Amino acid sequence: MTMNIRPQIRAIVLVLLVGLFVADSGYAQLPSGKDYISISPIPEISGKAGDTVTILLKMKIDKGWHTYGVNPKVGPDGLGPDATVITVGPKSTFRLAGRPKVVKGLKIHYDSTWAMDIEELYGSVEFSVRVIIDKRLKKGSQKAEVMISAQVCDAKECFPYEDFQVPVEKVIVTSEFVGDMSDTTDGNATAVTKTSALPGEPTKTSITTAGPAKGVTEIEVEQQKGLWSFFFYAMGIGFLALLTPCVFPMIPITVSFFTKRHEKQRGKGFQESLLFGLGIVSTFTAVGIPLSELGYRHAVYCACLQSFRCI
């Protein structure tokens, strides 16, 4: 008896399209810390090449929500909240001149979760950010950007660490630098600290980053390379997943089954194997989309593994 394959294939394709549409609309509506914070654009910055200028960053946090201060805090167990980090760039335009300071909206209190005093930012917050205009710049207008990386929380939950891009209208270099051009290091990268040692011992030098390092997973690295690179990476991982005691022995059995079907009626094995494959894809897609969204929502409404405030 001949199977009518086309209606079944159309049904599977329809399920896949509906699943992708639901996933896209679901992720687009997921809450974010950016829903509770607004940051004012930075007006025009002007100065001579090599000058140090101060940028006033203004941020408004909704009532009941907060972020953490710019000074990293570590409790007795070696853990602490994610400090807010401010970076500037590009390096060819300007760089940080020291750690930014909070001039408004900072509250310090004891937190039993971390067993220490922590810095939290509430309401109308202002940062004082000192930057050095690059000495190599020519007179004229330059492009620049300021980035605030922070974790937004309330009394019960925290969103994942996020980057907030703050547009700079423009940087006007009023005149070129005249003098020593050697000091052109990037203030965003590292800060070198020298500590005194015992008599007869060399001075100890330690290098620390301007903010807490954020880990980048192997998957994130592949995603940054582009869609096709990530596609082939995911396909390779899928093939490796076949090399398991439960799945690998089934490969020759499945192949021989459809080969026999093809021998009995030419083309039947190919059609049924295609239907079989599409059925597996549609099943995992239909099940995976709601489960992945549920897992993401759980991660969003938890304290990102470090705040210990899961609901």
Residues 57 and 163 in one domain: yes
Asked which of 127, 157, 177 is the last residue of a domain, the reply is 177
The string of pLDDT tens digits covering residues 218-275 is 555 555 566 677 678 778 887 787 788 877 788 888 888 877 777 777 767 777 788 8
* Euclidean distance between CA atoms 223 and 81, whole angstroms: 27
Q: How confident is the model at residue 202 (pLDDT cuts 50, 70, 90)?
A: very low
Radius of gyration from C-alpha coordinates of the chain:
28
Q: Count of domains in the chain?
A: 2
Instruction: Write down the pLDDT at residue 204.
Output: 40
The answer as to whether 153 is a domain residue is yes
Residues 157 and 222 in one domain: no
* pTM of the complete model: 0.54
Domain holding 223, by residue range, is 216-301
Instruction: Write down the pLDDT at residue 280.
Output: 83
Give me the CATH number covering residue 72. 2.60.40.1250
* Euclidean distance between CA atoms 171 and 140, whole angstroms: 8
Residues 123 and 233 in one domain: no
Q: Residue 154: left if φ>0, alpha if ψ -120 to 50, beta else—which one? A: beta
* Euclidean distance between CA atoms 41 and 170, whole angstroms: 11
* pLDDT for residue 111 is more than 50: yes
| Cis-peptide, bond into residue 72, ω within 30° of zero | no
The answer as to whether 6 is a domain residue is no
Residue 188 is which amino acid?
N
Instruction: Write down the pLDDT at residue 298.
Output: 56
* Euclidean distance between CA atoms 85 and 5, whole angstroms: 57
Q: Is 94 exposed, middle or buried (0-12, 13-18, 19+ CB in 10 A)?
A: buried
The answer as to whether 307 is a domain residue is no
Asked which of 130, 157, 177 is the last residue of a domain, the reply is 177
* Euclidean distance between CA atoms 120 and 252, whole angstroms: 60
Asked which of 126, 153, 177 is the last residue of a domain, the reply is 177
